[in-house]
Structure 1
Amino acid sequence: MDALKQEYARILQGLQIDRFNLDEDKYPGVFLPDPFDEYWTAKTKVMLVGRETAGWNTDNNKNTIKRAAGLGGVSVSEVVNESFRRFRKHFELKGDKVVDTSRSRFMQYYFRLARELGLDPRAMIYANLFAWDYDKKSPRNRPASEFNEIASTSQQLLAAQIRRFKPDFIVFASGIKGADGLIRSLFNDHFGGYQTAKDKLVPGKLWEFEAAGATCYRIAHPRAEYGHAEFRDKVIERIRASVASSASA
């Protein structure tokens, strides 16, 4: 995946570091998905997109936004390699399979989605709207100049992933508040827009649309309750039905 590494590095090198308060740099390592071989051979390609990580790749206690831009005594290429290693560690084999031991509702839904679609967990992509969190929380509360740069760079990274991975289905399980605007700008700015059928929107619950050659869904974060569980189920049902329909066509 040298081309993917180069694309990630190019985007990170464009970070406008002067928009950050480096005296309050509590960003972790950058989150960069790296597909396993199982993804490329899967008949159905699925990407599950969360919101942001909570302290991604902090094992070395060195990661900062400055370092991600290649200004912390390490090259951007090495930053990318570190993120790849962390991503692959997330899906390490235990015996001959990946075992879900996470208490994260998001990862539990990830593994459920894989299981019910008959996919190896390594045959899907775990991605995020934001490539960074801030001090293990959302970066939304940072000053506008900082947050806008995080959002813009994250969208460039996510757009690069969608273009290269070419998923058949993208599930945005990234919450409701603020997510729709980010999703709209992602596809408007990088893919020429999106199309939503009138009967494919349940306000605050489920949004189904077509974009970037994929069927996309936006649901609440998997930890959300109060009527959201049925829509998480509906997404699985709709993907299964779509795959079955395509297979019989």
Structure 2
Amino acid sequence: MLLVKRYQDIFKENQEIIDALLSNSNLSKIHLGFVPDDFKKKKHRILIVGRETRGWDLKYLEKYDQNSVYQLMDLSKSWVIRNLERSDSVNKKGKCFFNFFRKVSQENPNASILWANIFCVSYKKSNPSKIDTKSVFANIKKISESLLKAQIEILQPNIIIFASGLDTQAILARRDYFKNDLKPSGKSVVPGLDKKYLEQFHLLENYGEDILCYRTVHPSSRTKEFL
């Protein structure tokens, strides 16, 4: 599988960095997006990009190596399957992202739904930008950028939904990852709705077509103005 090989290469090329991330007890394990079983059967591919994954502990994982790539992808897959099948988590704290994920999946039966994050690890189960060491945050972004770009390049989504919210660091990271590859549409997605809540743009890609992208608030947001 191409994505597995790319992940393994990223780990191998950045072994010193990821070992340092693993040794930091305040950081979660690395999140790796998986390839759904229906990927080749579906006509469309929608990539949902969150901010970071909380509680990604995997206490049994003691090192990052070639085999751990399979473990991390399997965890991601089982987590999504388990949450997509549950209906008792609606409106429960911490489940809003997967409720959003489930809704996108239900309303797009002809699409394979993919999952990625702007940041590949969390810090104390929250935004890694809160870490007090700038060099560590820079390394987190370096690995995160490589992993996200690998998913986009290999899985070639038709649509990307950046559901990382209004967080400044997440927005800056996205812009930094793709630099000159982002092309604003200049269009209002919903008349009368401020684009900070729903923004449309395109990502320039080298495999033929631009990718239609949306940036929206994180599903857990409770902004009264938006609601």
TM-score normalised to structure 1 length: 0.75
Q: Tell me, what secondary structure is at the counterpart of 1:40? A: coil
Q: Match of 1:160, SS?
A: helix
Equivalent residue letter for 1:58:
L
1:155 to partner: Cα distance: 0.7
Task: Give the AA of the match of 2:167.
Answer: K
Which secondary structure does the structure 1 equivalent of 2:7 belong to? helix
1:21: Cα distance to partner?
A: 8.0
- Classify 1:22/1:173 alpha carbon distance in 2 versus 1 (closer, same or farther; 3 Å): closer
SS in 2 for 1:131: coil
* Cα deviation digits, residues 117-157 of structure 1 (max 9, x gap): 2357xx20011111111231221122100000001110110
Aligned to 1:98: 85
Are residues 1:116 and 2:103 paired?
no
Structure 1 residue ranges without an equivalent (≥5):
69-75, 230-249
| Whole-Å separation in 2 of the counterparts to 1:23 and 1:7 | 23
**Number of residue pairs matched by the alignment:** 210
Q: Which amino acid aligns with 1:160?
A: A
Change (3 A) 1:139 1:184: same
Cα deviation code 1:193-245 (max 9, x no counterpart): 1211222473421211111331000001011132435xxxxxxxxxxxxxxxx
Alpha carbons of structure 1 residues 148 and 86: separation in structure 2 relative to 1, 3 Å: same
C-alpha spacing 1:28/1:93, structure 2 compared with 1 (3 Å): closer
- The structure that is helix-richer by fraction is 1
Choose from 212, 217, 221 the match for 1:215: 212
Q: Are 2:84 and 1:87 aligned?
A: no
- Structure 1 residues 130 and 21: CA distance shift in structure 2, 3 A: closer
CA drift at 1:47: 0.7
Q: Is residue 13 of structure 2 the alignment partner of residue 14 of structure 1?
A: yes
Give the RMSD, CA atoms, in angstroms. Answer: 2.6
Q: Secondary structure at the match of 1:195?
A: strand
1:133-148 matched pairs, under 5 angstroms? 133-142=122-131, 143-148=133-138
Range moving further from structure 2, 99-108 or 13-22 = 13-22
Question: Is residue 176 of structure 1 aligned with residue 156 of structure 2?
Answer: no
Deviation at 1:18, TM superposition (A): 9.3
Identity of aligned residues (%): 24
Q: 1:131 and 1:100, CA in 2 relative to 1: closer, same or farther beyond 3 A?
A: farther
The match for 2:32 is 32
Change (3 A) 1:19 1:140: farther
Whether contact under 8 Å (1:47, 1:169) holds in the other structure is yes
C-alpha separation in 2, matches of 1:199 and 1:133: 33
Q: What is the identity, as a one-letter code, of the residue corresponding to 1:116?
A: E
Structure 1 residue runs of 4+, over 6 Å off? Answer: none
Q: Which amino acid aligns with 1:166?
A: Q
Give the secondary structure class of the aligned counterpart of 1:125.
strand
Q: Deviations along 1:150-202, whole A, 9 cap, x unmatched?
A: 011101100000001100000000111222221112222xxx51211222473
Q: Which ranges in structure 2 are unaligned for 5 or more consecutive residues?
A: none
1:196 pairs with one of 184, 199, 210: 184
C-alpha separation in 2, matches of 1:119 and 1:184: 30
Matched to 1:186, the amino acid is Y
Matches within 5 A, 1:147-186: 147-178=137-168, 179-186=170-177
CA contact (8 A) 2:119 2:141 kept: yes
Please tell me whether the aligned partners of residues 163 and 215 of structure 2 are also in contact (alpha carbons under 8 angstroms): yes
Amino acid at match of 1:228: F
Counterpart of 2:69, as a letter, is V
Alpha-carbon distance between aligned partners in 2 of 1:115 and 1:81, rounded to the nearest angstrom = 27
Amino acid in structure 2 at the alignment position of 1:157: L
Q: Secondary structure at the match of 1:38?
A: coil
